[in-house]
Chains A and B, each alone.
Chain A
């Protein structure tokens, strides 16, 4: 069996990023779109940790911590916006929120 290299992690991370992007672009449900964004951020983190591990450098892990901080802030505000939207429009489908479109 081949040993696991940084390349394996990069490939896994790219696949996860693409899965997340498919979720963002094709789903209608806003909750699941937000979850797909979490998938994308996790793909970035896998990349950062892989290079941090390979280069014996702790900076990648620090960056990953900041990415997680951003993910938390994004989830909190995004879900708050979602609740406000649901209260006003009674829908969670992204393509039904077209108030600006005439």
Chain B
């Protein structure tokens, strides 16, 4: 990563934890995980709490839907690390790789429900243009999405608006396909806390 403290600035307990993760997962600790262990009182602890609530907290959206939203927002931000991580997690959550690939290739023709499609379209616009209007929201609501679901989707977007930026600013190393699959298994088992 672009800051040496994020590569080497960890105490002995954290370094031991990283070594154990490498040993048991047989993959290096992803930079996304390393970041939240650096001075966790400043960022990591509260960031994990918010992201976990958005991605795994109560919602009418499934975990797969929310991981797909994370991948879609990350694609709009062109954030290679987060596209890899969350498309892998969405594929595993849905147990449907072709669906995730279709959404990321062409949302309009992808085999997803209209409500999810309208929600992803709105998140993509908000992410790319930095703004959204009442008409954008009316289109999502008229596709059968509840107000609460829109709010839940905006929380996912907020979480990845932050993480995507940090991934690209700090320079997270893009993992191998196997590394992303291992990370996805962890996120589905343990979440973000």
Do these two chains interact? no
Q: Which A residues lie at the B interface, using CB under 8 A?
A: none
